[in-house]
Structure 1
């Protein structure tokens, strides 16, 4: 999956250059599987109220993945409305990703994502269309856990280290 930017908009008010999307991708690839990098998934409940929850996410093959039990609030929200945002603080950058989250059913993709999770320290194994493991984060719900992939529509970032910058990207 390629996230080609169709538009880059510099939001910086102080004359700094736009941040490159490649910088955000590199940070996501190198830091997303770390245990101390908090991701927050934001969804909308059927009654319109917001819902936010911490998740363990990984950037892999140019996409963001996370897992959830189907009976969790986040999964029920996504079944009704796949639109979501994911916020994360990376080294030198606060990043918000906007898009739609959909279940992954392709066994080959699931096998590769499970292998990536194992590399990061979570011993996920594919069992059918879901993952099993001896443990999971408390907000993951009871297993098995299903894999979601975010289709990006846009993102924005603010540099938290010099030289600075703020940028919005939209994706084709």
Structure 2
């Protein structure tokens, strides 16, 4: 597994199904992100406490979720005030909600690594300075450059939509070391 192992697993299923295996979610995340067929919704909190949600193209890499934003977008402004966020998505066989903290990524090696994943998925992202540029992006993305954000996942909820069924919560150690 490229990410981290959970430190706590809680079975949330009320029908007697066993806890889902984390490897099932980890593999589904790796297989599905980024993809035009998988819509991810980023949830953030406005400075006045109201919720905000926006569709993003997420990348699951080494146990973290990555996404982009224009620096002027509501989601970027919200994260600058409060890094707490959620990322929700329907994957093959399992619905997932991840909770964590997001911060802008500016280091070149990480930007290059994530840009390569986006290029492999069909978005021709290039690193320019501390952000991405490309000839196109989502219609609502605004003009380039687009900042990259890393969401450090603290808790993940999964509900299976195919057999074996179940519902599970996984908690991860904050700031735990990543394995290569």
Could you say whether these structures have the same fold, taking a TM-score greater than 0.5 normalized by the shorter chain as the test?
yes
User: Shift of residue 137 of structure 1?
Assistant: 0.6
Query: What is residue 69 of structure 1 aligned with on the other side?
Result: 70
1:47 is paired with a residue of what secondary structure? Answer: coil
- Give 5+ residue unaligned stretches, structure 2: 174-180
Q: Give the TM-score, by structure 1 length.
A: 0.97
Q: Give the TM-score, by structure 2 length.
A: 0.92
User: Shift of residue 2 of structure 1?
Assistant: 4.1
Alignment: residue pair count:
172
User: Shift of residue 106 of structure 1?
Assistant: 1.1
Deviations 1:12-47 (A, max 9, x none): 111111011111110010111221100000000000
Query: What is residue 118 of structure 1 aligned with on the other side?
Result: 119
1:107 has 2:92 as partner: no
Q: What does residue range 82-161 of structure 1 map to in structure 2 within 5 Å? A: 82-161=83-162
Q: Are the equivalent residues in 1 in contact too, given 2:156–2:170 (CA < 8 A)?
A: yes
1:16 is paired with a residue of what secondary structure? Answer: coil
1:140 is paired with a residue of what secondary structure? Answer: coil
2:72 is paired with a residue of what secondary structure? Answer: coil
User: Shift of residue 105 of structure 1?
Assistant: 1.2
Q: Are the equivalent residues in 1 in contact too, given 2:83–2:101 (CA < 8 A)?
A: yes
Poorly superposed stretches of 4+, deviation over 3 Å: none
Q: Are the equivalent residues in 2 in contact too, given 1:3–1:152 (CA < 8 A)?
A: no
Q: What does residue range 18-57 of structure 1 map to in structure 2 within 5 Å? A: 18-57=19-58
CA distance in 2, matches of 1:110, 1:169: 28
CA distance in 2, matches of 1:155, 1:163: 18
- Give 5+ residue unaligned stretches, structure 1: none
2:13 is paired with a residue of what secondary structure? Answer: coil
